[in-house]
Amino acid sequence: MTRLLIMGPPGAGKGTQAELVAKRFTVPAISTGDIFRSNIANETALGLRVKPYLGPGLYVPDELTNEVVRDRLTQADVAEGFLLDGYPRTLAQVDFLDKVLAEQGHEVDHVIVLKVDLDEVVRRLHQRAVEEGRDDDNPESIRKRQELYLEETAPLIAVYRERGLVFEVDGLGTVEEVQQRVAEAIEQPPQPH
């Protein structure tokens, strides 16, 4: 069984790597951002609740995000594992995820942290905005999300590092090169803690 988290600043390539790794290890890739954007596009009740946060580049409140994650982790296709992309993003979400997994008799196996240069991240996000027409990738939102990542998400890496679960991977290079590094990291046993 494989229960993975993939972390890194916005634009580090988490979504691309999550899809490739999920295929390689035959587990579903779960992106809270994709769930939110899909609901906004379909104008669902959830979409209406999260839209005011995503446009200006703010994080969706923990309670709302946790509700979505709990629901997704109870679905049959995650019984043998999953890869979470974009969650957890706060210490409260780490605690919530621990509780949900413990209720199922599981825990996180590996935390992959993609390391990238900030200038490269900004370049990637501008390129993605043009290619995908994403209005949440404007320069102001990019800066805001980078600041929020550093303030709120980076400390989570320390929590998982204490548990011996963090594997840092160089996120620069071709998609294939990074994917190989990620796969090699996942195949390593968690570090003793």
Q: State yes or no: is 145 an active-site residue.
A: yes
14 among known catalytic residues? yes
Out of 134, 144, 161, 163, which one is annotated catalytic? 134
Residue 140 lies in a domain: yes
Please say if the pLDDT value at position 4 is more than 80: yes
For 42-100, the pLDDT digits (tens) are 998 888 998 898 877 777 899 999 988 988 998 899 999 999 998 998 899 999 999 99
pTM: 0.81
Query: Which residues form the domain of 87?
Result: 2-186
- pLDDT value, residue 193: 57
Tell which phi-psi region holds residue 44, choosing left (phi > 0), alpha (psi between -120 and 50) or beta.
beta
**Does a structural domain hold residue 180?**
yes
Q: Which amino acid is at 59?
A: Y
Identify the active-site residue in 3, 72, 124, 145.
Answer: 145
Residue 191 covered by a domain: no
Q: Is residue 66 part of a domain?
A: yes
128 is catalytic: yes
181 noted as active-site residue: no
pLDDT band of 29, cuts 50, 70, 90: very high
Query: Is the peptide bond preceding residue 190 cis, with omega within 30 degrees of 0?
Result: no
Is residue 162 domain-resident? yes
Pick the catalytic residue from 37, 70, 128, 161.
128
Domain at 123, CATH number: 3.40.50.300
**Is 134 one of the annotated active-site residues of the chain?**
yes
- Active-site residue, selected from the candidate residues 72, 89, 124, 181: 89
